[in-house]
Amino acid sequence: MPPSFSVTGGRALKGTIRPAGNKNAALPILAATLLADGPCRIDNVPHIRDVETLLALLEHLGAAVKWDGPNTVTVDATKAEPRALDAKLSAKIRASILLAGPMLARFGRVSLPPPGGDVIGRRRVDTHFLALERLGAEITVGDTYKLEGKLTGADIFLDEPSVTGTENALMAAVTARGTTVLRNAASEPHVQDLARFLAAMGAKIDGIGSNTMTVEGGTLRAAPHTIGPDHIEIGSFIGLAAVTNGAITIDGVRADDLRSTLLAFERLGVRPRLDGTKLVVDADQERRIRPDLGGHVPKLEDGPWPAFPADLMSIAIVVASQCEGLLLVFEKLFESRLFFVDKLIGMGARIVLCDPHRAVISGPSPLRGQVVESPDIRAGMAMLLAALAAQGDSVIHNIGQIERGYERIDERLRALGAQIERRDDAR
Residue 335 contacts residue 402 (beta carbons within 8 Å): no
Helices marked H in 77-120 = 87-90, 100-107
User: What's the confidence (pLDDT) of residue 331?
Assistant: 93
For 206, the enclosing helix (H) or strand (E) is strand 204-206
CA of residue 9 relative to chain centroid, distance: 26
Backbone angles phi, psi at 147, to 5 degrees: -125, 140
CA distances from 175 to 1, 106, 179, 242, 385 (A): 47, 8, 10, 46, 44
pLDDT in tens, 333-345: 877 789 999 999 9
State how far the Cα of 74 lies from the Cα of 79, in Å rounded to an integer.
Answer: 14
pLDDT in tens, 121-152: 345 678 888 999 999 999 888 888 899 999 99
CA distances from 2 to 211, 380, 398 (A): 42, 15, 7
State which residues of the chain have pLDDT below 50: 117-122, 426-427
pTM over 0.75: yes
Concerning whether 118 is annotated as a catalytic residue, the answer is yes
Residue 275 contacts residue 250 (beta carbons within 8 Å): no
State how far the Cα of 284 lies from the Cα of 267, in Å rounded to an integer.
Answer: 16
State how far the Cα of 156 lies from the Cα of 130, in Å rounded to an integer.
Answer: 9
User: What's the confidence (pLDDT) of residue 386?
Assistant: 97
Helices marked H in 219-362 = 231-244, 259-267, 313-321, 341-346
User: What's the confidence (pLDDT) of residue 124?
Assistant: 63
Residue 340 contacts residue 375 (beta carbons within 8 Å): yes
CA of residue 72 relative to chain centroid, distance: 19
Q: What is the DSSP string of 248-268?
A: EEEES--GGG-HHHHHHHHHT
Q: Which of 118, 193, 257, 311 is catalytic?
A: 118
Strand pairing category for 212-216 and 325-330: unpaired
User: What's the confidence (pLDDT) of residue 215?
Assistant: 98
